[in-house]
Amino acid sequence: MAAPGIAGIKALVFDVFGTCVDWRGSIAREAEAAARKIGVALDGAAFADAWRANYQPSMERVRGGAREWTILDVLHRETLEALKPRFGLAALDAAASDDLNRAWHRLDPWPDTVGGLARLKRQFVISTLSNGNTALLVNMAKRAGLPWDCVLGAEAFQRYKPQPEVYLGAASLLGLRPEAVMMVAAHNGDLAAAQALGLRTAFVLRPTEHGPGQKTDLRPAGDWDFTARDFSDLADQLRV
């Protein structure tokens, strides 16, 4: 299939964790600072990886119906609690743990994110399409200066990506047919789910999302409409 053009694309919806923001570096830094306050020397990157490792399993129980709808802030907090002993953080009290949990609201954007989004916003409706809860996404955007037109995600639909209600629900709320919406993500799996439902797809390389030894999502694994080095490159390709 020849790559379709830009014609007809009205909205870009973005995966957030990893695609827009560097969760690993941000969480590592905040976790090390929190540990330091209680006199613990923490390997922040290993801690961030462990926290994130329970991301999919914790959502999978909700997706499968083993657990009723639960927002990501709560899933994150439970995982943190479970990890504390393993990383020597048993002395981290409830208030400090709550604050560290909210580090997910304070993730730093990649260097190209804010400028790239500002360019893309000139031509397209730009929205999140994330498994993060709304408050997390709103707080993150305000701190980082992410200029969303709209904040959409799992919570509005009480489903977690890649469940189809999230992608189709976003198109519906934006008043658009799926083919007028392009999913932008650094993850082939997210794009595959979107493409199967008729959305367009843009793969953005984030080769250090998981650190220097990253092995996944280093290249496009599907016939995506666009593949870009970063958001500036995507804006170039979309001619904005």
Nearest to 158 by CA among 77, 50, 30, 63: 63
Stretch that binds a second copy, among 18-26, 32-40, 146-154, 225-233 (CB under 8 A): 146-154
CB neighbours (10 Å) of residue 53? 12
Q: Considering only residues 80, 103, 151, 154, which one is a binding residue for a second copy as defined by CB under 8 A?
A: 151
Supply 21's token pair.
């923001």
| Phi and psi angles of residue 91, each rounded to the nearest 5 degrees, phi first | -80, -5
Closest approach, Cβ 76 to a second copy, in A, equals 13
191 binds a second copy (CB under 8 A): no
117 binds a second copy (CB under 8 A): no
* Size of the chain in residues: 240
Question: Exposed, middle or buried: residue 239 (CB in 10 Å: 0-12, 13-18, 19+)?
Answer: exposed
Q: Considering only residues 32, 112, 155, 190, which one is a binding residue for a second copy as defined by CB under 8 A?
A: 155
138 binds a second copy (CB under 8 A): yes
Which one, 176 or 191, has the nearer CB to a second copy? Answer: 176
Which one, 54 or 134, has the nearer CB to a second copy? Answer: 134
- Which DSSP string corresponds to 176-207? --GGGEEEEES-HHHHHHHHHTT-EEEEE--T
Which one, 154 or 228, has the nearer CB to a second copy? Answer: 154
Q: Would residue 44 be called left, alpha or beta, if left means φ above 0 and alpha means ψ between -120 and 50 degrees?
A: alpha
Which one, 41 or 94, has the nearer CB to a second copy? Answer: 94
Closest approach, Cβ 98 to a second copy, in A, equals 12
Closest approach, Cβ 143 to a second copy, in A, equals 11
| Phi and psi angles of residue 147, each rounded to the nearest 5 degrees, phi first | -90, 50
38 binds a second copy (CB under 8 A): no
177 binds a second copy (CB under 8 A): no
| Phi and psi angles of residue 108, each rounded to the nearest 5 degrees, phi first | -85, 140
Closest approach, Cβ 125 to a second copy, in A, equals 6
134 binds a second copy (CB under 8 A): yes
Position 238, amino acid: L
Contact footprint for a second copy (CB under 8 A): 73, 125, 127, 133-136, 138-139, 141-142, 149-151, 155-156, 173-176
